[in-house]
Amino acid sequence: MRGKFITLEGVEGVGKSTNLATIEKVLQSLNIDYIKSREPGGSSIAERIRALLLDPEAEPMSELAELLLVFAARAEHLEKVIRPSLENGVWVLCDRFTDATFAYQGGGRGLSTAIIDQLQALVRGDLRPDLTVIRDLDPAIGLERARERGALDRFEKEEQLFFNRVREAYLAIAAAEPKRCMVIDASKPLEQVGHDLVAALNERIESLNAEKGDE
């Protein structure tokens, strides 16, 4: 049976490491065989592209070049990690996927969603996440948290208006695909966020396990 594909999304400062650890504990408690990955990145070549995309000292990059690099990294990640794992019955837990491209390059940068759709069809094909957790947070709070962590990457240095558009794009995706996406309020105290996430995940994962693989 094909493994399930779970992705995590959200603006900066939503508590990525903590949320990932919480989901891992849920999967482990259910004895689910899984791997953890991330985008951009997740494979050798994709990680090198990630370093270029996030480098705060890199020379200015055109928006189209950024978009193409994101999809180049994704093509490698899918080929080398995601597809083989799913085909072997292993679940994949991934920090960001195509929704991030629609949110950051589409919403944030204002690039054409038609172009993103074309690239998505070419690179991703019919593969899509079985479940997407969108951690929602006021960008002003998220950016403050990011700054408190230390040095900022190339995206974290963007203005708040950029992240306002990213957040709007994420919420639009969630509204359009409520069966796949669940929104978690990341502004609550960390313990409450964890509790909400576990409760929602247990319910959704039970449904995923009940589905037949196409598999």
pLDDT tens digits for 148-192?
877 889 999 999 999 999 999 999 999 999 999 999 999 888 888
Q: Report whether 8 contacts 16 (CB < 8 A).
A: yes
Percent of the chain beyond pLDDT 90? 74
How many angstroms separate the CA atoms of 176 and 173, rounded?
Answer: 5
Pull the structure tokens for residue 192.
Answer: 């409450």
pLDDT tens digits for 56-67?
998 899 999 999
Extended beta strands in 23-172, E state = 34-38, 91-95, 131-136
pLDDT tens digits for 186-215?
988 888 888 989 988 888 888 887 774 444
pLDDT tens digits for 99-119?
999 999 999 999 999 999 999
pLDDT tens digits for 131-146?
999 999 999 998 888 8
Q: Report whether 142 contacts 19 (CB < 8 A).
A: no
Which residue segments constitute the domains of the chain, with CATH numbers given?
Answer: 5-210 (3.40.50.300)
Angle between helices 16-29 and 190-210 (to 10 degrees): 40
Mean per-residue pLDDT over the chain, rounded: 92
pLDDT tens digits for 80-97?
999 999 999 999 999 999
